[in-house]
Structure 1
Amino acid sequence: MAPTGDGAKGSKKRKNPKDSGVPSSKRRAVAENQSEDAMAKIQELEEQISESRKYYNNIAILLSMLPAGQAGGKPNLAVAVALCRVFCRLIAGGNLSEPRGAAENEKVIVAWLKERCQEYQKALLDIVRNADASSQITALTLSMRLVNERATNMPEGDIYVWTFGLFKAVFEAVVEAQDGEALRAEFLTNFVKAYDDVRYFTFHHVSEYAATPRTSETLQVLISMLSECDTAPTPEHEFESFYNKNAQKNKKLVSVNAHKKRAQEAWLAILRNNLSQSQRKALLRIMSHTIEPWFSRPELLMDFLTDSYDVGGATSLLALSGLFYLIQEKNLDYPQFYTKLYSLLDADLLHSKHRSRFFRLMNTFLASTHLPAMLVASFIKRLSRLALNAPPAAIVAIVPWVYNLFKEHPTCTFMLHRVVRDDPATGFPDPFDPFEPDPTRTSAIDSSLWELETLQSHYHPNVASIARIISEQFTKQSYNLEDFLDYTYQGMLHAELGTGEKPLKKLPVVEYQIPKRIFTDRGLEEDGGVDAGPGSLVRALWDFA
């Protein structure tokens, strides 16, 4: 029976180690001695296993000292390293393989060792998935050592180990690891990018892993891993860096076409998965220089690029670059290319952050002198019409671009010199049809560029000055479009105010009296109670509901 009495007397306060009177230096020395004793114990168990088979039970003891599976836990890495050495020696010595005609007790021992090896591999994979970053990297290195030993010495063969065995489990653990940014960086830098055979089988597992629907987070991990492999081998490339020495005997691992085929399958599996809009845009940005060089059959990308093109907006602009690469480099024919290009010319284009990229591509698309004049005229007219409501930075690029097109296609200059016979009552009927989707049927060649003449009265002096080059003699051969593509509001403002070297011809008119209210009607002044009059001009122009 428990003693009864005063609670204060019946309970004892737990002492703090700091209050026990033991100096901190002494406590550190005790901890170091305990750590040294533990290391000595681990080393003794490992050495006994190497000495005799009768100490194989030490493997189970070491496995019990290796806690794993806790999220963010700190496993005993010294035990993990010791077990790795133990199993590598056992695999190299053939102790995990049943010899022909082995006795029953020998088969039992081999089966037991295989189970303990599987248990150890599972523990390492748990560490890779859930432990802290340092432990994850150590477990990855140990797992890859086991992969190398099994591929070299196990009777099932190296292909089985890489495609169906341990390496497949390692790859999945790396992809699914919690907080595994550092782990994946280690895997990519020290294994995938460093060794040709590891990269080959990584491509293989990416294609299999992405063959089923995955979450956006998982797809982002796969995209990041493949994007790091951004250098496709040339036909003359010789594969010499292998993680496993037996890899050189595999003809596929020394074949450029085989490597590109694996990478092609990996990228296609990702492109066919449930990509988010941001991931689709990211892939389109790297399409030309990272993805397409791996494809031996680039026509397989046509479906993805076409679907992306049909999305509209910025996604279509990004897809256009990939399509142009296929047309220019791979000689692919894309039907209705200029019709689709013409459909991209809308008001949103001139306000898009991809405007410069689009103008560079369009400048290339329309540079050929073999294009019909009516098609080129449609692009000129469409952009001139859009320039009426475009920001100044876009107009600055449109006018030189139109000038260059006139120099390349002189037939279109009739749009500048057309005599306008207008009716004072109805005005001049513009034959241009802005709603016609086919650029060869818009009748733009029969119209005039009154829009550019209107821009000569633009409020921004730089825009008005550039617009006047259309009305002058075409003495300049062409303008360098790169000088105009990167203009912004900020850049144009800095050009006026940044240097201070340009003198002001006329002082700007400023508001000398700051109004108290802008969006509301002015009521009675607080000081005099006098009606201050109607609201501001902004308040009069718009009805704020």
Structure 2
Amino acid sequence: MAHLSSAATATKKRKRESSKLEDRTRLKTKSKKNTATSKEDDPQAAILLLETQILESRRNYNNITTLISTIKQKDAKEETVVFTVVALCRIFCRLMTAGCFVKSKGTPEAEIVIIQWLKERYQEYVDILLVDFLRSDTASKQNIAFTLLMRLIEQESKSEGEYSWRKGLLASLVEVLLLLPEDDPIRQEYAEKYMKTYDDLRFYTLQSIAACFTGDHDSATQELITANSTSLLSTLDKPPESSDALETFYGQRPAQQKHQLYSVTAHKRQAQEAWLATLRSDLSKDQRKVVLGIFTSQIAPWFLQVEVLMDFLTDSFDVGGATSLLALSGLFYLIQEKNLDYPSFYHKLYSLLNAGLLHSKHRSRFFRLLETFMSSTHLPAALVASFIKRLSRLALHGPPAGIVAVVPWIYNMFKRHPTCTFMIHREIRDPDERKDLEEEGMDDPFDMEEEDPMQTGAIESSLWEIETLQSHYHPNVATLAKIISEQFTKRSYNLEDFLDQSYTVILNMELGRELKKTPVVEYEIPKRIFTASDTELGPLGVLMTKVYELS
């Protein structure tokens, strides 16, 4: 009985163990099915699986084509597309690091075919980033593409032995940046984060900009490239002072000590070529102002041969207005700093003294530059006198805000050029000549129409215009004009104190002035406006009646 019972017990144990084994098998089978189903339902898991397979074996390289086709699907979700794009970036970076894109002399033919196929797929992927993503209207897609492209540029430059920046991804990226809309923030981000920070990126970006102007483009595309190139180049700071400052590289640091990336002259040459290509295109008036505004601080220091800019400056002068003034500022910089000869400089400056000068919104800028241009004490007295006389004549018809800048400037010129003070007071020693002047007066020898400031005869004239301004209707102007008739005890006036005057400022000064004595005003309140009496119309009534009849 005991034996039977033990056998029965053993049989029951075997049945329970077999049932547990079947349950485990069913659970494993079920879990495998669930995993497969989850991968089908989760596209990101499927993408990760394809990525893992590609990196495990080259037999799975065809998965790259599958991932690229996923990006091109029109009905694909945006999250899936973005995840695929990032995954492909990781894949290609890993393949570059492993040397899968490099072929040597002893590489078998079959291996070369695979390398060529990989490069074609990589180029297809890059084109998607450049065209479909970076030039997209969606900011998120642009930012993703820009980040991935910069990651690929870094990997490209560090993976290959002698990397060709001219033929690499950077050149294509710069070309697309120049074709983006003028207000696109990606270009500014590239300039601030990369071009201004890394010496190698700046060097090859300048090289790529110059190359972009050599292609055939329609007029609209050429204008866009010019505008964006101007915007990109305008972000450049001053060039490095020595080769020791060239130490920040985005890609692989060149091993050769004589490499062009270590040469300040080579960097300047690339900047010069990029700027010349931009300046030789048709710049708009606003673009010229931008270029001329930064000419002395950010453009001229990059040039190895500054004299090549003379033609651009003289052409800019012919534009007129504020552009001419800025062009003269650039010419004066070349004369003063680079010792270039330009004999007609003051002739052109004199031509800017026209009737609209004191009414111009650029009046303050003009007087600041005029103060600089006329600062030399070695200028001929006849030249200085012509400027003084012409501005005095213009002040007769100028606004008060403009006159208050002219008078202190004239005072400073007299202190700097004492020979011109004969225009204030000239003693006539011949009694007969003095008598004739007192009885008949004299004609002003100054020729306002003469274009040559050395031939105007201003030095023989007098500043009767300033004395006339001493009776100006505005008390501030009249008071200021009287300083020319007083002793020159003040060393000079700070012109900045008079440049920002306007009607509003002058009016507020008068309204805020404290009156020592209340003015007496007499007036009579009229009893009638349109009628002279109860039966007759007055002058205003008659006028209103005629207006009514004509209408």
Q: Same fold (TM over 0.5)?
A: yes
Q: 2:225 is matched with which residue: 214, 218, 223?
A: 218
* Cα offset, 1:389, TM superposition: 0.6
Q: How many residues align?
A: 491
* Cα offset, 1:441, TM superposition: 1.1
Q: 1:235 is matched with which residue: 237, 242, 246?
A: 242
Mapped to 2, the partners of 1:330 and 1:536 lie a distance apart of: 73
Amino acid at match of 2:515: P
Mapped to 2, the partners of 1:224 and 1:58 lie a distance apart of: 42
Residues 175, 458 of structure 1: alpha-carbon distance in 2 compared, 3 angstrom cutoff: same
Residues 531, 144 of structure 1: alpha-carbon distance in 2 compared, 3 angstrom cutoff: same
* Cα offset, 1:120, TM superposition: 0.8
Mapped to 2, the partners of 1:315 and 1:197 lie a distance apart of: 34
User: 2:251 maps to which residue?
Assistant: 244
* Cα offset, 1:255, TM superposition: 1.2
Residues 179, 256 of structure 1: alpha-carbon distance in 2 compared, 3 angstrom cutoff: closer
Q: 1:473 is matched with which residue: 482, 487, 500?
A: 487
1:483-502 equivalences under 5 Å are 483-498=497-512, 502=514
Mapped to 2, the partners of 1:378 and 1:179 lie a distance apart of: 45
Residues 118, 263 of structure 1: alpha-carbon distance in 2 compared, 3 angstrom cutoff: same
User: 1:391 maps to which residue?
Assistant: 399
1:298-377 equivalences under 5 Å are 298-377=306-385
Compare 97-106 and 326-335 and name the one that shifted more: 97-106
* Cα offset, 1:207, TM superposition: 1.5
Map Cα deviations across residues 333-373 of structure 1 (whole Å, 9 max, x no partner). 21122111111111112122222222222223323222221
User: 2:452 maps to which residue?
Assistant: 438
Q: 2:150 is matched with which residue: 144, 148, 153?
A: 144
* Cα offset, 1:387, TM superposition: 0.5
* Cα offset, 1:400, TM superposition: 1.2
User: 1:11 maps to which residue?
Assistant: none
Amino acid at match of 1:228: T
Q: 1:297 is matched with which residue: 276, 283, 305?
A: 305
Mapped to 1, the partners of 2:542 and 2:339 lie a distance apart of: 62
Task: Give the conservation status (yes or no) of the 8 Å contact 2:382–2:459.
Answer: yes
Task: Give the conservation status (yes or no) of the 8 Å contact 2:328–2:345.
Answer: no
Task: Give the conservation status (yes or no) of the 8 Å contact 2:470–2:478.
Answer: yes
Amino acid at match of 1:200: F
Residues 110, 370 of structure 1: alpha-carbon distance in 2 compared, 3 angstrom cutoff: closer
Residues 104, 35 of structure 1: alpha-carbon distance in 2 compared, 3 angstrom cutoff: closer
Residues 97, 248 of structure 1: alpha-carbon distance in 2 compared, 3 angstrom cutoff: closer
Map Cα deviations across residues 204-242 of structure 1 (whole Å, 9 max, x no partner). 111222346654343222111111112321136521111
Task: Give the conservation status (yes or no) of the 8 Å contact 2:178–2:224.
Answer: no
Residues 389, 407 of structure 1: alpha-carbon distance in 2 compared, 3 angstrom cutoff: same
User: 1:503 maps to which residue?
Assistant: 515
Map Cα deviations across residues 99-129 of structure 1 (whole Å, 9 max, x no partner). 4344443333222212211111111112111
* Cα offset, 1:465, TM superposition: 0.2
Compare 275-284 and 368-377 and name the one that shifted more: 368-377
Map Cα deviations across residues 268-317 of structure 1 (whole Å, 9 max, x no partner). 11111111111111211111112112122221211111111122222111
User: Partner of 1:120: helix, strand, or coil?
Assistant: helix
Mapped to 2, the partners of 1:397 and 1:340 lie a distance apart of: 21
* Cα offset, 1:422, TM superposition: 6.4
Q: 2:273 is matched with which residue: 265, 268, 272?
A: 265
User: 2:209 maps to which residue?
Assistant: 206
Q: 2:198 is matched with which residue: 191, 195, 212?
A: 195
Task: Give the conservation status (yes or no) of the 8 Å contact 1:342–1:379.
Answer: yes
Map Cα deviations across residues 464-518 of structure 1 (whole Å, 9 max, x no partner). 00001111122222222222122121111222224x5x2264649799879x9xx
User: Partner of 2:178: helix, strand, or coil?
Assistant: helix
Map Cα deviations across residues 178-211 of structure 1 (whole Å, 9 max, x no partner). 5872321322222212211111111111122234
Residues 333, 74 of structure 1: alpha-carbon distance in 2 compared, 3 angstrom cutoff: farther
User: 1:82 maps to which residue?
Assistant: 87
Residues 80, 429 of structure 1: alpha-carbon distance in 2 compared, 3 angstrom cutoff: same
Mapped to 2, the partners of 1:290 and 1:95 lie a distance apart of: 43
Amino acid at match of 2:444: D
Task: Give the conservation status (yes or no) of the 8 Å contact 2:182–2:228.
Answer: no
Compare 180-189 and 429-438 and name the one that shifted more: 180-189
Mapped to 2, the partners of 1:77 and 1:445 lie a distance apart of: 77
Residues 478, 135 of structure 1: alpha-carbon distance in 2 compared, 3 angstrom cutoff: same
Map Cα deviations across residues 61-89 of structure 1 (whole Å, 9 max, x no partner). 1111113899xx88812111111111112
User: Partner of 1:167: helix, strand, or coil?
Assistant: helix
Map Cα deviations across residues 117-148 of structure 1 (whole Å, 9 max, x no partner). 11111111121112512221221222222223
* Cα offset, 1:42, TM superposition: 1.2
Mapped to 1, the partners of 2:290 and 2:450 lie a distance apart of: 32
Task: Give the conservation status (yes or no) of the 8 Å contact 1:385–1:451.
Answer: yes
Residues 137, 458 of structure 1: alpha-carbon distance in 2 compared, 3 angstrom cutoff: same
Task: Give the conservation status (yes or no) of the 8 Å contact 1:230–1:290.
Answer: yes
The reply to whether residue 46 of structure 1 matches residue 46 of structure 2 is no
Amino acid at match of 1:474: F
Q: Which has the larger radius of gyration?
A: 2
Q: TM-score, normalised by structure 1?
A: 0.82
User: 1:132 maps to which residue?
Assistant: 138
Amino acid at match of 2:376: S
Q: TM-score, normalised by structure 2?
A: 0.82
Task: Give the conservation status (yes or no) of the 8 Å contact 1:133–1:182.
Answer: no
* Cα offset, 1:167, TM superposition: 1.4
Residues 91, 378 of structure 1: alpha-carbon distance in 2 compared, 3 angstrom cutoff: same
Task: Give the conservation status (yes or no) of the 8 Å contact 2:103–2:112.
Answer: yes
User: Partner of 1:129: helix, strand, or coil?
Assistant: coil
Compare 209-218 and 340-349 and name the one that shifted more: 209-218
Map Cα deviations across residues 395-453 of structure 1 (whole Å, 9 max, x no partner). 11111111121122222111112367667997521111111111111111111111001
Amino acid at match of 2:169: L
Residues 179, 272 of structure 1: alpha-carbon distance in 2 compared, 3 angstrom cutoff: closer
User: 2:123 maps to which residue?
Assistant: 118
The reply to whether residue 456 of structure 1 matches residue 470 of structure 2 is yes
Mapped to 1, the partners of 2:493 and 2:357 lie a distance apart of: 22
* Cα offset, 1:35, TM superposition: 11
Amino acid at match of 2:247: E
User: Partner of 1:319: helix, strand, or coil?
Assistant: helix
Mapped to 2, the partners of 1:528 and 1:276 lie a distance apart of: 67
Amino acid at match of 1:115: E
- Identity fraction in percent: 52
User: Partner of 1:350: helix, strand, or coil?
Assistant: coil
Mapped to 1, the partners of 2:337 and 2:400 lie a distance apart of: 35
Mapped to 2, the partners of 1:513 and 1:218 lie a distance apart of: 69
User: Partner of 1:174: helix, strand, or coil?
Assistant: helix
Mapped to 1, the partners of 2:383 and 2:489 lie a distance apart of: 25
